[in-house]
Amino acid sequence: MKMTSIIKPSSLALACTVALASVSHAATITWTNDANNESGWAAGDNWTGTPDNTVPTSGSDSAVVNNIPTAGSGNVWVAFNSDFTIGNGQSLTVATDSGVNFRGSGATLTLATGGTLDLTTGTADGNLGNSFGGGLFVVVNSGATAKVTNLDINRDIAGDPNETATFNASAAGAVTLFEVTDELSIANATLNLDLTALTAGTELGTYELFDYGTIAGTFATVNVTGLEAGQSFTTDYAYDIGGGDLGVAITVIPETGTYALLAGLTGMAFVMLRRRQA
């Protein structure tokens, strides 16, 4: 005898509600505080979206700055005081009639693979840095897009940690190039290159990290993690990116001793070959 299952309408409605609630919907949240002063990223009343007064959700929402200051010309000033990840397919941009100064305030801005940071889309400058109250920390994964007008990683306040820029590589030479159309300003900051995701033995090569119009300063500390034994690195602040552009790059190389060993082995092989031919 066949058994027939009966689903009550109320049960079906409840199941649908639960299923819909489990699906997250990315949104675009708009910054609407047009005052020409510092205002915190984490303050809900600075944002308009669905619902209103909602801070963008890290990792799933896009954000856009959409106001020029009511006081006149200049940029909107945003105190970046809450960690935020620009997720795959999401973006942080500036509306065409706007400009922005994102000032680091002790928070970390992360660009995931497929995420877009483009502060050059407005009529005024789109700047990142010029920090206060804790500094700026940026993490850039490969396969992201990063463009700003000016980038300042130069906070030097006693008691505050050095600002950092961290690049995560996915393959030899595969990192996101951070494009700075005007000035890259560096002081008392740390540059990190993480190669731990690479297959052992594939680390050698050049990693182009920044493209700039002009540059001021150098990093106080440069770290490369994931190197194999016998590898070292060099940092070039005037690397030829191509197209007449200069940038900051790290090149992973065998250590000098390794070069000497390889040269010695090559020489010995050549001598042995000559003796056999004789």
Which residue range(s) make up the domain with 220?
29-277
Q: Is residue 240 part of a domain?
A: yes
Tokens of 110: 């992360």
- Which amino acid, 54? T
Query: Structurally, how many domains does the chain consist of?
Result: 1
pLDDT for 145 equals: 97
Q: What is the pLDDT along the chain (278 residues), one digit of tens a residue?
A: 434 444 444 554 444 444 433 334 468 999 887 665 668 899 888 898 877 888 999 999 999 988 765 555 567 888 888 999 999 999 999 988 788 888 888 889 999 999 999 999 887 888 998 665 668 899 999 999 999 999 999 876 655 667 899 999 999 999 999 999 999 999 889 999 999 999 999 999 999 999 999 999 999 999 999 999 999 999 999 999 998 899 999 999 997 654 445 545 555 554 455 555 55
pLDDT for 195 equals: 97
Q: Is residue 20 part of a domain?
A: no
What is the torsional sign of CA 50, 52, 57, 62?
positive
Q: Is residue 94 part of a domain?
A: yes
Q: Is residue 9 part of a domain?
A: no
- What is the DSSP track for 45-69? GGEESSSSS-PPPTTT-EEEE----
Q: Is residue 14 part of a domain?
A: no
Q: Is residue 19 part of a domain?
A: no
Give the global pTM.
Answer: 0.81
Q: Is residue 16 part of a domain?
A: no
pLDDT for 66 equals: 80
pLDDT for 52 equals: 81
pLDDT for 102 equals: 86
Q: Is residue 186 part of a domain?
A: yes
